[in-house]
Every structure is written in C-alpha cells, then in structure tokens.
Structure 1
Amino acid sequence: MNLQNLSAQSFRPTRQQAAVIVSGIVSMGLEILAGRVLAPEFGNSIYTWGSIIGVSMLALSLGYHYGGKSSKNISFNDLSRYLTYTALYITALIYFGDMFLTLSSALPIPARYSAIIPVAVLFGPPTYFLGFISPYAVQLSKKEDKGEASGHFYAVGTAGSILGAFGTTFFLIPAFSVNSIYTFFAALSIIPAISSFRDPKSLLLPGIIIAGIVLGGSTPVSGNTVYEDSTPYQELRVSDSDGVRTLYLGGQPQSATYINGSDDYVWDYLDYFHMPFLMRDDVEKVLFIGGGGFTAPQRFAEMNISVDAVEIDPGVVKAAEQYFNLSESENLDVRTGDGRNFLEASEGDYDVIYVDAYRKAEVPFHLTTQEFMQLTYNKTDEDGVVVSNVISTASGPGSEFARSQYRTIDSVYESVYYFPTADTSLAQNIEIVASKNSRMSREGLGDRAKSYRGLNLSDEVGNLEDISPGDVPVLKDDYAPVEELMNPLIGEKYNIN
C-alpha cells in the first residue's frame, strides 16, 4: 500500500510542471485554432498559415527572452500572473474577436500581408504571456542543475504542445465551436494558477474569469440559425430567412433552397449549369465534384440523369440530408472523399463534369491545374464538357484567378466559354465551360437556348464574354500560385446571384 502511494506521488506533476504542460497545450492549440478563425475573412492560404506560424514563433521567443530576464527572485505567484493574463485575454476574444477580425479585413494592406495584423492582435499577446511560463518554471525548479531543469521543462512543454496540436486538430475543432474552444483554453490556463482549492480567496479571480467565459461562450446565435457544426474542414451553418434556407461554409453562402419545396433555383448562377445541354445532344451521366446543399445534383437526378456527387466533408453531407432533403436514389449516388482521387479511380466516361468545390476564400489548388483538367478530359466521352464554378471578379485585378483558370482549361480543351453571372464589379460566380467540340457561336447557343427544356437560357447565353486571359500562369501541379492570384479578392464583397 505504501509503495502504491509512493508510486502515485512520484507520477503526480508539480505545479510548475502542470503550468508548463498547460502553456504548451494552449499555445499550440491557439496556433491551430487561428487557422479556423481567420479562414472566413483571409482564406486558408500559405500566406495565412505563414502569418500564424511566424507571429506565434515571434511571440513565444519574446516571451522566453523577457521571461528569462525577469525570472530572478520570482515566486509561483509571478508565474500564476501570466497564466491569469492569458486566461483574461482569451476571454476577451470571445467577446471582441469577431469584431476586430471584421475591422482588420478592411485595412488597406497588401493582400498577402493582410493576415499578419489580426494574427498579431488576436493571438500574439496570449502566446507571449505563455512564453514566460517555461523560464519561470526553470527558475522555480528544485533541481540544482539549471541545465537539467531547462531540458526537463522544455521537454514537458513540448509534450504539452504535441497534445495541444493533436487534441485541437482531431478532437476540439471537429466537435466544438470556436467560442467553446476559447472557453476551454481560458479555463485550462487558469487551473495551475489556483493556489489552493481550499482557499476561497484563491478561487475569486478564477471564478470571475470562468463566469465571464460561460456568459460569453453562451451568447445566443441569431434566431434564424437552424443548425451549426464545426467539421474537420470548416465551420458550417444552416440559416433560414425570408422563405430561403442557406448553407454557409466558412462564413460564405454555399447553397440555398426554398423552404416551401419549390424546384426553382434560388441563385441564378445555377442556370448556367445547364449550359452543357446546349453544347451537346445528350447528357445522361454527370459528376459533381463538391456537393454543398446538393441542389443541382438533386435537380439533375429528377431530370432522369445519372448523377455521381462527391463531397469531401461528411459534415456537409449530413447537413444536406437533414436540411436540404438530400437522399440517394436510383439516379443519385453520393460519395465522400477527395474529388480528384474519386475521378482517378472512377470507371467509364461522364458526359459532363461539374467542378463546384471552390469558395471565395479557399480553393483546393489540385482541382485547378492542367493535370486535373487533363484528367477530366480523359474521363469524359468524345463530346465531353467540364464546368468550373469560379468565384472572382469579371475583370480587373480580382479576375486573375478566373483568367488563369480559363487559360489552364483552354490548354486542354478545344473550346472554352466565359460566363460572368452578374452585372457587377464585385466578386461573383464566373462559369467557365469547356467542350471537346469546336466552339459554338453566340447565335448558335442562342438558338438552342430557346428550345431547351425547362429553362430559358437566352439571358445566360447573352452574358458570354470573349476574353483574353493576359499574362496569367497556366496552373500546374508543381506550380499553382492560387493564393497569389486570389489575393485581390481578400476583403472584396461577394455578390452571390
């Protein structure tokens, strides 16, 4: 029995060890969480992640430096003070984080650097405070050899960082909202600062902080939100307003349907998905890469067309089943997985392939390249058509990605058509349609539009533009500067039509 007690005590972490473990968990957890927080406004590009990693390393190094310089003659209360600062700052993020993020997106900063300021303001200070913990723990250590103490505590802190990275990535973000994760990190930060659970005075400040966290974390969402989820890929929300149900992914509208069950499209750009029917005589089998609310795939299945639809995010499929009436049928087969991998493994030919997996703030580059477009070419029949739904401006600097995508597709297909869907200078849906057949004239498309079943596509044909891609790159697997091309869209309002 005594041996068991001794064993239990030997594995019980000291308060300094607990503080260092917590600092590792929270600092790395905040770094991972920052990517989710910034994605809706600044995208998920290499510039965003470079800003997050760079600011985090700078904040930690400053904390280590000044923590080491100020560690002489400290007590555990000094260490606890920085844990308390961390908890207070994270609590403030619950209340003010979104507001500052919105304001910072409007700052006149070159797009590639625009994420640095919000990262520095939102996540720099708490990471800086946590940098003090390891040097202070080394100074407070009872080990006589400070080199040994230093190695021990940095190993403990790294173990905490590993736990924070894996835990935040694979458990917290898929299961909880951002504010709930802030709540957890703030509460976790304050625990080692509590000197004694039996001393009421030591519980006063933590109690105030945790009360604030609970109140902030429980702020009610808007009344028309009917469903929310934090998937491994994005924040998801389903909202009802004025008879329309809309799916938001990463804060951007992705799909919409009428609540009363009407088959009409809510957004006009989906009419352009019928353009391939004007360019070939028969459409019997199609593939959708990207599902969203599965509005178009369901509509096509009802037209007695065989539809395969692949969506990378199982959470999106779940939401579509519950709130957008998605159900598989004889004509509709829904899969989860990466669209390119699915297409490579598929057998047989499609008549049309729809690439509808892009968002304003985030584009999977491997679905934009010449090699991918060649794959779509190889996986369609002799009259094959591909439709790429791009979010961009119709012209000007914000159109660089759309023009680059046009040029890339044009390097593979015999004819390419460029359809802006709205008369606006704002970011909008640009439909790039490519065919293996020779190019049809506007008049020829117009004649077919008049007799097309179900929809009058005359106005859509009228929006066809002849463009010159200009000096933009052909996107390839080994060089696809999608983030650079999309930089002008950061902070640009998205006009979905």
Structure 2
Amino acid sequence: MTSHPRVGSTTASKRPLLCPVFLAGIGSMTVEMCASRLLAPYFGSSTIVWANIIGLVLASLSLGYWLGGRIADRRPSHRLLGWLVLSSALAVAAIPFAARPFLDLSVQALDQVHSGAIIGSLAASALLFVPPVLLLGTVTPFAIRLAVENVADAGSVAGRVFALSTAGSLLGTFLPALVTIPLVGTRRTLLGAAVLLGLAASLLLGRRWTAVGVLLATILALPAGTVKARAGLLAERESRYQFIQIVQSGETRSLYLNEGRAIHSQWRADAVVTGGEWDMFLTLPALIGYTPTRVTMLGNAGGTTARAYGTYFPATRIDGVELDGEVSAMARGYLGL
C-alpha cells in the first residue's frame, strides 16, 4: 500500500476553517454589491461603472488567491489565517467611513473631465474596495492548505472548500440586494459583514478576539448620517433600485436619483407649472382636440405632471405608474403627491 505524505493539520482542525471560508465568500460579494450603491450617488450606475467594479473585484480576488496560497505554503498557521480574516474585517468596516470624503474629493477633482465617471469610479473602486477583497481572497487557498491532510484527498478537499466559499458568495450577492440594503442601508450592510468577519476571525485567534466583533457591532448603533451631502438636502433614501434625494432650492423642491445630475420631478407650493419638460405634456389636450378622460403616466416619479393635470384638467383620471415604491413614498412626503 502506498502512503501519502501528511501536508496539513488534523481532522479536528478543519472545523474552525469552515465558518471563515463561508463568511469570506459572503464578504467579498457584499463588498461588490455595496460598491455599486456607494458609487451610484457620485458616478451613476452605468455599464462602465459596473465594469470597473466587477473587473477590480475579480482582479483583487485573483491576486488574493495567489498571495494566500504563497503565504500558506510558507506559514501554514491557523493563527495567521485568523489575522488575515481580522484584517479583512477591519478593511470592510473602514469603507463606510472613508467612502464619503474620498468620493466627494474625487467628484470635485474630476467634475470637468469628460471621462470623469470612468476614471473616478475606477480610482474609487481601487482605493476603497481592492484592499478588503484582496484580503478576503487569501482565505480560501489558505484554508485549503490547512485542511488538506493527505495529497490523495487534496482534490476533494479543495472542491468542498471552494463550494462553501461560492455558497457564501451567492448569499452575499442576493442578501444585500434584496434584504439588507433596502432595510438598513449600504453602510450598515458593510458594517454587518465586518462584524461577521470579526467573529469568524475569533474562531481562529481565540475567544478574547470576539471583542473586536462586538466592538464593530456597537458601531452599527451609531447614526447613519447622510450618504451624499448637498446644500438644501431634505431627505435621502436607498431603495432596491437606486439612491434617492429630495433637495430644496428657494421655494422649489427637486427629486434626484443616483448621481443627481438630472432632476426627475419638481414641486412648488404656489404653482404646478415648472418651466421644465413636465409642462409640455399639458399641451396634449390641445394637440388631440379634446380632454382625455383618463391618462396613464409611466414613470410617475414625484408626480409633477400628474399634479399639473389635476389642477388644469380635474375631470381627467390620472393613473401614475412608478416602479420604485420608495420614490412614491418620498414624493408623498415632500412633493405633494
């Protein structure tokens, strides 16, 4: 019978590896999903912005896989893996606090550059998101190195570890997008991921390091503050679809989405005619020769046109259709919908 060299730890030592691997998968995709939401108020959510995010995340993971494998071969230690996981937790926790000042500065520096969105989103992704994702990328190959006990089982061990990591990545894709970002916002989603990573690190470093996860959890109780400050800001909200702001300038309130370049609705307490593109729809009855009894507004937003119709053509029934319920809710609160 041929014996195979022992290259890893004992079977019992595999158990603390499972949770960090799974949570590293969650963390990497949570960072990617939150990255798009953090960049949207500044650079929009175009294909170019998404390409920058996805490309840099993949490059970071690739570099992390390579680096994690090399480090693990030189120092195959559970404790060192714990430090890598803890470092990734701190890096993820730093994103919500570093994002706003850095993004404000980058927008100011690139505002007049034709390709500012491309350059700005690329630079922001590199500086804000590459460090934590790179660190998270080191976890899987490092865990494989520690989990392999016999070269005859190396393939099956690697397969199980990567399957667990990918399962975490799937959860990290859908949970933020469908649940946590709409419910608690992007910054608290990132801090929540950091808390889980901090607790996972304590499994490898020892119970006393649980205090780091607890400390990160206390940050969740702090007021969220604004995502993107601007003069006259009345309210902002993150929905499943976009970033929403209501801004007041003089007597006029305006609805902005994502990067805030375009005004999607306006409201004044003393008038329904805005002088903007919404007014042109009031010419419809004159153009068709009669007043319609029913009009459907696709993309109602804050209801600027619907409100004007209600004033000038009160007999016309308006059916406003808006995909984003959060936009309608904010319009009811601030734009007289």
Q: TM-score normalised by the shorter chain: which range applies? A: 0.7 to 0.9
**Structure-to-structure mapping, 1:184-263, within 5 angstroms:** 184-195=192-203, 199-200=207-208, 202-211=209-218, 213-214=219-220, 218-221=223-226, 227-239=235-247, 242-252=250-260, 253-258=263-268, 261-263=269-271
Larger Rg: 1
Q: Name the counterpart of 2:115.
A: 110
Query: Is residue 292 of structure 1 aligned with residue 301 of structure 2?
Result: yes
Gaps of 5+ in 1: 1-9, 327-497
SS of residue in 2 equivalent to 1:309 = strand
Offset of residue 63 of structure 1: 0.3
Q: Contact conserved, 2:199 with 2:212, CA < 8 A, in 1?
A: no
Offset of residue 31 of structure 1: 1.3
Structure 1 stretches of 4+ with a deviation exceeding 6 A read none
Q: Contact conserved, 1:87 with 1:209, CA < 8 A, in 2?
A: no
What is the rounded CA distance, in whole Å, between the counterparts of 1:271 and 1:203 in structure 2? 59
One-letter amino acid matched to 1:318: A
Give the TM-score, by structure 1 length. 0.56
What is the rounded CA distance, in whole Å, between the counterparts of 2:324 and 2:288 in structure 1? 32
Query: Percent identity among equivalent residues?
Result: 28
Match for 1:274 among 276, 282, 289? 282
Offset of residue 297 of structure 1: 0.5
Offset of residue 227 of structure 1: 4.5
Offset of residue 310 of structure 1: 1.6
Q: Contact conserved, 2:30 with 2:173, CA < 8 A, in 1?
A: yes
Offset of residue 267 of structure 1: 5.8
Give the TM-score, by structure 2 length. 0.80
Offset of residue 85 of structure 1: 1.9
Q: Which has the higher contact order (CA 8 A, sep 6+)?
A: 2
Q: 1:209 to 1:172 in 2, by over 3 A?
A: closer
What is the rounded CA distance, in whole Å, between the counterparts of 1:112 and 1:158 in structure 2? 31
What is the rounded CA distance, in whole Å, between the counterparts of 1:99 and 1:246 in structure 2? 24
What is the rounded CA distance, in whole Å, between the counterparts of 2:253 and 2:193 in structure 1? 34
What is the rounded CA distance, in whole Å, between the counterparts of 1:136 and 1:197 in structure 2? 15
One-letter amino acid matched to 2:94: A
Q: Name the counterpart of 2:147.
A: 141
Query: Is residue 163 of structure 1 aligned with residue 165 of structure 2?
Result: no
Gaps of 5+ in 2: 1-10
What is the rounded CA distance, in whole Å, between the counterparts of 1:46 and 1:251 in structure 2? 14
One-letter amino acid matched to 1:320: A
**Structure number having the greater helix percentage:** 2
Give RMSD over aligned pairs. 3.0
**Structure number having the greater strand percentage:** 1
Offset of residue 51 of structure 1: 1.5
After superposition, the C-alpha distances for 1:394-436 in whole angstroms (9 at most, x for unaligned) are: xxxxxxxxxxxxxxxxxxxxxxxxxxxxxxxxxxxxxxxxxxx
After superposition, the C-alpha distances for 1:460-479 in whole angstroms (9 at most, x for unaligned) are: xxxxxxxxxxxxxxxxxxxx
SS of residue in 2 equivalent to 1:233 = coil
What is the rounded CA distance, in whole Å, between the counterparts of 1:19 and 1:67 in structure 2? 14
Q: Name the counterpart of 1:313.
A: 324
Offset of residue 26 of structure 1: 0.9
What is the rounded CA distance, in whole Å, between the counterparts of 1:48 and 1:84 in structure 2? 29
Q: Contact conserved, 2:16 with 2:203, CA < 8 A, in 1?
A: no
SS of residue in 1 equivalent to 2:72 = coil
Q: 1:61 to 1:199 in 2, by over 3 A?
A: closer
**Structure-to-structure mapping, 1:17-96, within 5 angstroms:** 17-72=18-73, 73-96=75-98
Q: Contact conserved, 1:256 with 1:267, CA < 8 A, in 2?
A: no
Q: Name the counterpart of 2:190.
A: 182
Aligned residues: 310
Q: Name the counterpart of 1:121.
A: 127
